[in-house]
Structure 1
Amino acid sequence: MSRFRDLFDPASPVILDAGWATELQKRGLAPGESPDAWNLARPDDVEAVARSFVEAGAQAILTNTFQGSPLALARVGLDGEARRINEEGARLSRRATGGANVRVLGSIGPTGRRRDLAAEAFTLQAEALAAGGVDALVLETFGDLAEAGTALVAARATGLPVVAAFYFDEASGEPRTADGSSPEAIAQAMAQAGADAVGANCGAGIAGFAEVCRRLASACDLPIWIKPNAGLPTIVDGKAVYETTADAFAAALPELVAAGAAFVGGCCGTSPEFIRALRIAARGRGPAR
């Protein structure tokens, strides 16, 4: 059994949180502004978003640190604050649980930078999230196996369980990461490298995720983590608008669980309403893979 799966009640699926950037944008996050900087500048808003996911029924919530590496924060002149931003992100999500039995998972996104620079950045971020008190680390939206491997080494050094989640583009009709890797190749590589769970997030919408889930599950014995977008957005008056409803999103849950998903939540365009719908859909289901 995966160390990550052991953090949760065996009754599955475990319902995750929703789109952090989507909710922060509702509170005034401007295009191009660093969401992670809000951990210091607007902590009350960050905690409120985390609390909204808890109140909606999420059994695990992320930290507001997806682009909290010093390399990403250097673009807004905050690389020197990276450690504090990550520690505060962990503490804000932890405080938002209000003592409830909700796990806090530290979010780490890709850097797209050279391996030596990325390794140092991932190490700082993972150590700071661990110091802030997260229960596990989540590598999100990775598209390159080599970079994910570098991040996984840094994350595993903390001793915490680690989830590795990838972005699969299905534009060609076949799900592939940016470096051309298939779901099977991703699952096998991450299992061999010591990940505690593997999965997919973001993407063009929930419709294609069952197939990706099945293929990930067929290639490894790790729990599968699934966090799709609410479809692709259209831009209306300068804002991203997603047409997928919470009920339509949650209607896909049985197929995802049948495909092997043990953890299901939402990415871009999803909200606490989506989490409530997923919790309703999950009621009465037996243990997942």
Structure 2
Amino acid sequence: MTTSNPIQTLLQQTPFMLIDGALATELEVLGCDLNDALWSARLLAEAPEKIRQVHQAYFEAGADCTITASYQATVPGFMQAGMSASEARALIQRSVTLAQEARDAVWQPDQLDRPRPLIAASVGPYGAYLADGSEYRGGYDLDRAGLVEFHRERLALLLAAGADLLAVETLPSLDEALAITDLLATHPEAQAWITFSARDGDSISDGTPIAECAAALASCPGVAAIGVNCTALPHIESLIRAIRGACDLPILVYPNSGETYDPVSKTWHPAACSDHADGPSGLRQGAPLWLAAGAAGIGGCCRTGPEDIRALAQWRHELCE
């Protein structure tokens, strides 16, 4: 069974796909305390209406795709927090339902001025479950087979909940990406994007060249797009060019705002002026460069918000006039 690529379908109707921005950042703006091993996933149980509100804000800003609150949502993670396995599974699937409800509040089937927005179910890396910052390092204590087993149940739950595709994001290693492709082979109806965290303009977080990752994933069934997220702005253009030289899949980029994250203290710090000397200072400034380099989808990760997505949507509208 061959399933059409939902990203390719959307790109037939718009110059580039507009992905949403940070979920956790906006939840904090709404007064939520996310200082917890479950991060924003804790609110799937405690304040689901806040998650729905953030998804809706991004759709209203013009996003073509929202990413669910399942990045750090796993059955073992919820069970460690005192929930039963059945409660954990229901919360993981609730992440998709909340995004679908937000889309239904903004977009109607007879609406002709924008394509039907996509729901991308977040599949965070093993390092996100560990909650120790290792999604920015790699070097896990699990081999590829162990990573397959770690991801197996959540991936099946998110697909069963009706997500349009999976957002397999912030991966620090090629091994973890290949573990995901092993699982996709068991779900012939599934489509997923795979995005890596990168440490510079050439390599992902564990040091593997991004071009090597792109070449390895280029022909894997079910891989709808590849790219980078949760990465510093100055590295994005070079990473896009490296990916484009290795494969023809759509390239998605959703970098951080430009601030620097300390995974030990779990705090953000303003970037030094020199950090942006050779790169854009924000999403809107970077978008023309990234599209010219070969990107097909642009959005934001940590410390970005609806105002950033609204600015990109306005610029895209001007491009179409």
- TM over 0.5: same fold? yes
Contact 2:202 2:242 in 1 (8 A): no
Residue among 211, 214, 239 paired with 2:238: 211
The residue that corresponds to 1:254 in the other structure is: 288
Residue among 19, 22, 34 paired with 1:19: 22
State whether structure 2 residue 211 is matched by structure 1 residue 184: yes
CA distance in 1, matches of 2:171, 2:309: 23
CA distance in 1, matches of 2:51, 2:76: 22
State the Cα RMSD in Å. 2.5
The share of aligned pairs that are identical, in percent, is 27
Q: How does 1:88-127 map to 2 (within 5 A)?
A: 88-98=94-104, 100=107, 101-112=116-127, 114=142, 115-127=144-156
Residue among 129, 152, 155 paired with 2:158: 129
The residue that corresponds to 1:168 in the other structure is: 198
Shift of 1:201: 0.3
The residue that corresponds to 2:112 in the other structure is: none
After superposition, the C-alpha distances for 1:38-65 in whole angstroms (9 at most, x for unaligned) are 1122110110111111111101101100
After superposition, the C-alpha distances for 1:113-154 in whole angstroms (9 at most, x for unaligned) are 524443233121111111211100111000111111112322
The residue that corresponds to 2:36 in the other structure is: 32
The residue that corresponds to 1:230 in the other structure is: 257
The residue that corresponds to 1:200 in the other structure is: 228
Could you say if the C-alpha distance between residues 212 and 234 of structure 1 is closer, same or farther in structure 2, counting changes exceeding 3 Å? closer
Could you say if the C-alpha distance between residues 85 and 19 of structure 1 is closer, same or farther in structure 2, counting changes exceeding 3 Å? same
Given the two structures, how large is their TM-score scaled by the length of structure 2?
0.79
Deviates more, 1:266-275 or 1:94-103: 94-103
The residue that corresponds to 1:221 in the other structure is: 248
Runs of 4+ that moved beyond 4 A: 241-244
After superposition, the C-alpha distances for 1:57-108 in whole angstroms (9 at most, x for unaligned) are 1011011000112344454344723321221000000100126221101100
The residue that corresponds to 1:66 in the other structure is: 71
**1:58 aligns to what SS in structure 2?**
coil
CA distance in 1, matches of 2:199, 2:77: 23
Give the aligned length.
Answer: 279
Could you say if the C-alpha distance between residues 143 and 55 of structure 1 is closer, same or farther in structure 2, counting changes exceeding 3 Å? same
CA distance in 2, matches of 1:228, 1:45: 23
CA distance in 2, matches of 1:49, 1:242: 24
The residue that corresponds to 1:84 in the other structure is: 90
The residue that corresponds to 2:171 in the other structure is: 142
CA distance in 2, matches of 1:111, 1:247: 30
Could you say if the C-alpha distance between residues 120 and 270 of structure 1 is closer, same or farther in structure 2, counting changes exceeding 3 Å? same
CA distance in 2, matches of 1:32, 1:175: 32
State whether structure 2 residue 11 is matched by structure 1 residue 6: no
Gaps of at least 5 residues in structure 2 are 108-115, 128-140
CA distance in 1, matches of 2:300, 2:27: 15
Residue among 257, 263, 287 paired with 2:297: 263
CA distance in 1, matches of 2:78, 2:193: 23
**2:217 aligns to what SS in structure 1?**
helix
Gaps of at least 5 residues in structure 1 are none
